[in-house]
Structure 1
Amino acid sequence: MNTGIEFTMKLSAAYSAVCRPLCHELNLPQTAFDILMFLANNPEYTTARDIVEVRKIKANLVSINVDKLVGEGYLRREADTDDRRKTHLLCTDKAGAVIEQGRTLQNRFMNSLLAHIDDAARKQLAESIHQMEQNLDHMLEEEH
């Protein structure tokens, strides 16, 4: 089974191509859109460090694009009540319409990706991915 790199490259390229018209319409770079959608879809992650570590976007790109999103009113910064050095990034009401459009786009993308795959195969795929995630957790536990 040798599908890893080629598949992920095609997946990334296709997703970027699907996002391009919306990003152009919103005058947002793809990275800014990705950051906004990451924060909206993963509310447990709220810091620039989270974006760098989990989403694997370079710190300088996160900084530049977060500043743009804050400047345009899509995000706001909020100091942590327990740790003044930590700043949380929160989506604003203005971001709501963009997030809704982004989620619609993401759903269409997933539907296109899974087109011509029947429900039984989709279920098996989900179960296989879940099992692989458990295997990865086990491997990581063994490392510690």
Structure 2
Amino acid sequence: MKNITDDIMSHHTAGEKFIISAIEVKKIYENMYSGFMEEYDLTQNEIDVLLFLWKNEKYDTARDIAEYHHLSRSLISKSVDGLSRKGLLCIVQDRQDRRFIHLKLSSDAKEITNKLFKIEEKFYKSLQKDISQDELKVFLSVLRKIRKNIRKEADQID
């Protein structure tokens, strides 16, 4: 039996299906962290900041995080402030250029982030279940093209 989303989606264009699917995947992704968020008193944005810094030591500024997640710097700053107050983030001034602030995970954050990474890993495994490597390659190739098209479109709007 079809659910309502499948029935409605059967009438949409490919672009609409893509957007609806992306929203659905993001909601499921965020729901996977809900228990963790309660237990550790973290917001989704704070979790995203922790995971970003865990995986990208080279990119350690609020600007890097905002650019990657396509979020405002003020929202990232709010998350950074919260994580710093909770003792999960160390704020380090750049030695060569004092205008730059680097964000480093504290030792407490490393344990928490390791747990977050395991949740994320489980999510990605379930996302790729029953998808062959060839199918995944094609999907990622198409996704790169979509992102390229979107960026071109965004550049024309700005």
TM-score with structure 2 setting the length:
0.76
Q: Secondary structure at the residue paired with 1:116?
A: coil
Mapping for residues 85-96 of structure 1, pairs under 5 Å: 85-96=99-110
Q: Secondary structure at the residue paired with 1:90?
A: strand
Mapping for residues 13-28 of structure 1, pairs under 5 Å: 13-28=27-42
Q: 2:73 aligns with which of 38, 41, 59?
A: 59
Report how many aligned residue pairs link the two structures.
138
What is residue 122 of structure 2 aligned with on the other side?
A: 108
Measured against aligned partners, the alpha-carbon deviations of 1:25-71 in whole angstroms (never above 9, x if no partner) come to 11111111111111111222111111222212222221121111111
CA distance in 1, matches of 2:42, 2:29: 15
Q: 2:62 aligns with which of 32, 44, 48?
A: 48
CA distance in 2, matches of 1:43, 1:94: 17
What is residue 6 of structure 2 aligned with on the other side?
A: none
CA distance in 1, matches of 2:137, 2:148: 20
CA distance in 2, matches of 1:65, 1:125: 32
Closer, same or farther: CA 56–129 of 1 in aligned 2, 3 Å: closer
Paired letter, 1:79:
Q
* 1:136 counterpart = 2:145: no
CA distance in 2, matches of 1:73, 1:18: 24
Identify unmatched segments of 5+ residues in structure 2.
1-13
CA distance in 1, matches of 2:85, 2:125: 33
Paired letter, 1:30:
Q
CA distance in 2, matches of 1:128, 1:30: 28
Paired letter, 1:61:
L
Identify unmatched segments of 5+ residues in structure 1.
none
Paired letter, 1:136:
K
CA distance in 2, matches of 1:110, 1:38: 16
The root-mean-square deviation of aligned C-alpha atoms, in Å, is: 2.3
Q: 2:45 aligns with which of 31, 35, 57?
A: 31
